Amino acid sequence: MTTLVDQIVYACDMFGTAVFAFSGVLVAGRMRMDGFGVLVLAAVTAIGGGTIRDMILGATPVFWVRDPLYIWVVLATAFFGMWLVRLPRRLPWYVLPVADAFGLALFTMIGAQKALHFGTSGIIAVLMGTMTGVAGGVIRDVLAREVPMVLQKEIYATACILGGILYSLALHLGLDRLSAMLICIGAVFSLRVAAIYWHLSLPTFSLERRQD
């Protein structure tokens, strides 16, 4: 039986899918790809992480095969995005990063939740949550011949790892599912937005010696 919480999560999941797909549209536009390229980048960004997660967990057929609405959301976002980016009036710069942070938080929670539903350990739930949030973006960047953002100094995957840990720990401590969900989403979203606002980043690794 579907609860109200499940319905809200599902609606937010569709929103996150659209946001991630739109980020794929923007990268495709920057690389001057054709319409098919736009669709590919939109799709892999939006559903790539969840697809890999489901294949690893054995949750087949994968989620978008069971529910084709995900594909329709990706297609609609791709076509709408190609039209939107040509408008002379653009959205404020912070709208997409903030929406992306919310989508990242939600995808992390969904990935960790699904892993635990399949009886995995907490550490696997953290990995599956992180993969759900970032793997699609990694595939997108590789196809666009860019260094994936999660492999650089951006605080992105780190936020997912924190959220997955808090979600698993909250359930382990006996908190109800809704509280664990809110803790996870709040932690990932807050850390990601703080990183955007204050330009926070992780230290980088380099083999070059410092010049005194």
Q: How confident is the model at residue 211 (pLDDT cuts 50, 70, 90)?
A: low
Q: What is the pLDDT of residues 82-103, one digit of tens each?
A: 998 887 777 788 899 999 999 9
pLDDT tens readout for residues 56-66: 999 999 999 99
Q: Is residue 207 part of a domain?
A: no
The torsion angles phi and psi of 201, rounded to 5 degrees, stand at -155, 160
What is the span of the domain harbouring residue 147?
A: 4-198
pLDDT per position as a tens digit, 183-193: 999 999 999 99
- What is the pLDDT of the chain when averaged over all its residues? 93
Per the domain annotation, does 205 fall within a domain? no
Number of domains in the chain: 1
For residue 212, tell me if it sits in a domain.
no
126 assigned to some structural domain? yes
In a domain, 209, yes or no: no
Res. 32 pLDDT band, cuts 50 70 90: very high
Evaluate whether residue 210 is within a structural domain.
no
32 lies in a domain?
Answer: yes
Which residue type is seen at 58? G
Decide if 123 is inside a domain: yes
> pLDDT by residue (tens digit) across 151-207?
887 899 999 999 999 999 999 999 999 999 999 999 999 999 999 999 898 888 777
* Nearest-angstrom CA–CA distance, 189 and 48: 21
What value, to the nearest 5°, has the Cα angle with vertex 119 and ends 115 and 124?
45
pLDDT of 14 reads 96
